[in-house]
Amino acid sequence: MFFDSLNIVFDDTISSVHYRQNLSGDNPEAIKFENNRNLYNEDNYVRKVVMEKKHYISTEYSFTFTEQDYLNAKN
């Protein structure tokens, strides 16, 4: 399943929209793919290899929402 955007909601009232790559939506406040806070962009995650075998790699990806993310969504 593919989505064109993600809507992150803080405190059940404040939202932040994140756009996929090559999407130019009509929301001027949306976080574009190139932004280092965009959730679609894999480069914005901390990646940790948990287990590595011959034909299998298990990884964990972490993304931490900051207070600034909240403040940006609020404005």
Give pLDDT, residue 26.
Answer: 81
Q: Is the pLDDT of residue 75 over 80?
A: yes
**Residue whose token pair is 């009509």:** 26
| Nearest of 34, 8, 9, 10 to residue 20 by alpha carbon | 34
Q: What's the pLDDT tens digit per position in 2-40?
A: 678 999 999 999 999 999 888 777 888 899 999 999 999
Q: How many domains does the chain have?
A: 1
Neighbouring-strand partners of residue 31: 18
**What is the predicted pLDDT for the residue at 2?**
67
Q: Report the predicted TM-score, pTM, of the whole model to 2 decimal places.
A: 0.78
Domain that holds residue 17: 5-74
Four-residue CA torsion sign, 24, 28, 31, 32: positive
The pLDDT of residue 14 is 94
